[in-house]
Every structure is written in structure tokens, then in C-alpha cells.
Amino acid sequence: MAEFRPIEISSEHLPVYNPDEFAREFFGRIGQRMELEPQKGTPITIRANALPLAPGLIAGGGSISAMTSHRTSAMRSDGNSDILICFPVQRMLMREAGGREFAAGPGQAVLGSLDRPVSFVSPERRNDFVTLQLSRAMLSPYVTSIDDKLMRASDASDPRLRLLRGYAASLAPDALASPHLRDLAARHLLELAALAIGPTADGHDAAMRGGLRAARLAQAKQVVMAHLERPELSAAFVAARVGVTERYVRKLFEGEDESLATFISARRLDRAMTMLADSTRRDRRILDIALSLGFGDVRTFNRAFRARFDRTPSEMRHEARAS
């Protein structure tokens, strides 16, 4: 079984000479083979990663300096017709050979194909992005008339693309060590991509059963992590921000190792552990840490902390100071 190897590149670690060669190597390793043209007077800077989750499916992201990237006619002769879905944090332009141009900003996506004569223009000094690369053969059975859906910028109000972006951005290499988890993530991304582009009946059914639930669960967990300090953090709080019912939020966690309440408590305690070990916060009272993380009183916090870490907050702080 092939070993899982995330692909990473950072121009900070590259030789000062000819960094564009190394950037091109990165795009070559993920099968894109792009010609890069930096904006005049702007050196190439790039920090990017790619997660090859399955044959024909790569998730990635990062940031690049102002540049235009395209595949020359010689590059397009390699037969690669992978579909690209890119979510820019700032803005991105997709320019066809005939001059037609599509612009996408925050909340939008550009949908392109590697076998088309098109340029991707990243005009800002720094351009952050999340991207998906899917083989046409993998995606086609799940999408109706796929070529009619490409070479465009999406509607910023489309919730399906927001779910796809959120799920792709939530994937972390350390959580994908298991082949089973990589296969699951790849399947969910495929289903969500189909749902966002325009699914067949089978693609829609598959997304409803798997990918949509996974994306909603990731969205719910992101809401929890962003609001651990809120005392009112609950199923109702999460549901209001995800746009679903409280019952649905609870059902999302039914197949997980932790219920929603347990997940919230565990993440708060993990955050407390980090704060107690932080040398810059050693003068902060344990009571204040407990209250800041939504615990109603220090006794409840102490009991929960000991149950999770087999030591009291005071003992944890003492160990951190001694180390």
C-alpha cells in the first residue's frame, strides 16, 4: 500500500537562485505542469501544500505572490483533463485564450479544466487559496454535462460551494494517516464537488448520504472551536450558525466517538490545558481561565479537568513551571 506523503513547498526554504524552477516542480508533482509568469518586478513566493487523497483527487491550499499560471499547448498535450476548483481568499481571474475573463472574489470559486487554453491570474501581492483537483473520469459519473459547468466563476451565495470549501479546508495531514480516513475524505469531496457543480441523480443521493453530512459535521465543529469561550455554546447555538435544526446537529454527532456536549467539554479542557502550560499566562488565575471557557464555577472545571487529564489544573500548572 502506497505511503501517504503530503506534498509541500515554501519559497522560504528554496535557494535564492531560480526559485521558479522549484515552484514549477511542485505543480509538476501534482500533475498540473503550469508555466508561471510572475508579475513584473515581483519575485516568486509560494507556500503551498497538496494532499493526494486518492488516485485522481488532490486537495490543497496555500498562498502565492502575484503571478499568472497557464498550461502551454505542449503541456496540454499530456492528456491531463483534470478539473480544478479554486477558492480564492482575495480575488482571482480566469482568462480564456479568446480574451473572455471571469473574476472570482471571497466566497466564490473558479471552475476550470487542465485541457483548456486558459490562464489563472492571481493579481494581489499575496494570494491565498484552497483548491481541489479531480480527475474527469472520477467526477463525470456524478455530474451532468460536466463541460457545460466549467470555465466560470461561481455565485458567491451558493451554499454548496461554501460547504465544499469548508470541508476541503478542514482536512489536516495528521488526521489522514489511516487509508480508510483518506478514502472517506476523498469520497466526501467527490460527492460535495458533484453536488456543487450539478449532480446526476446518483451523485445527489450519494452526497445526501455521505458528503453533505461530513461537511455539516466539519462546519459544526468549526463553530464550536471558534466559540469555546461562549457560555451559551450549545446545540441551539451551533444550529443557528450552521443553518440547520438542533435535532440535526445532535444527529450529526451520533455516529461520532463524542456527543456534541462531550465534544464541547473536551475541546474546552484541551484549550485550558494549553493555557495553563503557556508561560505568558502563568499569572492568570485558574478561576479566570475556567470562566473564560464557559465553565460556571471552578469546582466543576477542576472535576472535569482531573477526569480528562488525571491531574488538577494546579498540578498541571506546577508541572509546566518546573519543565
Q: What is the pTM of this model?
A: 0.81
Domain ranges of the chain: 7-226
The model's pLDDT over 259-268, given as tens digits with 9 standing for 90+, comes to 999 999 999 9
Which pLDDT score, from 0 to 100, does residue 1 have?
A: 44
Q: Which fold has domain 7-226?
A: Jelly Rolls (2.60.120)
Per-residue pLDDT of the chain (323 residues; tens, 9 = 90+): 456 788 888 877 666 556 677 777 778 778 888 888 888 888 888 899 999 999 999 999 999 999 999 999 999 999 999 999 999 999 999 988 888 888 999 889 999 999 999 999 999 999 999 999 999 999 988 998 888 888 888 888 888 888 999 999 999 888 888 889 899 999 999 999 999 898 989 888 888 888 888 899 999 999 999 999 998 999 999 999 998 999 999 999 987 889 999 999 999 999 999 999 888 887 889 999 999 998 888 999 999 999 999 999 999 888 888 77
Which pLDDT score, from 0 to 100, does residue 186 have?
A: 92
DSSP letters along 151-207, please? SEE--TT-HHHHHHHHHHHH--GGG--SHHHHHHHHHHHHHHHHHHH-B-HHHHHHI
Per DSSP, 210 falls in state I
Which pLDDT score, from 0 to 100, does residue 203 have?
A: 84
Residues contacting 115, CB < 8 A, separation 6+: 76, 79, 80, 81
Distance CA 110, CA 118 (A): 12
Q: Give the pairing of strands 83-88 and 46-54.
A: unpaired
Which pLDDT score, from 0 to 100, does residue 27 have?
A: 80
Q: Which of these, 50, 97, 45, lies nearest to 72 by C-alpha position?
A: 97
Reduced to 3 states (helix: H, G, I; strand: E, B; else coil), residue 33 is coil
Distance CA 26, CA 34 (A): 9
The dihedral sign for the CA sequence 55, 52, 196, 246: positive
The model's pLDDT over 34-93, given as tens digits with 9 standing for 90+, comes to 888 888 888 888 899 999 999 999 999 999 999 999 999 999 999 999 999 999 999 999
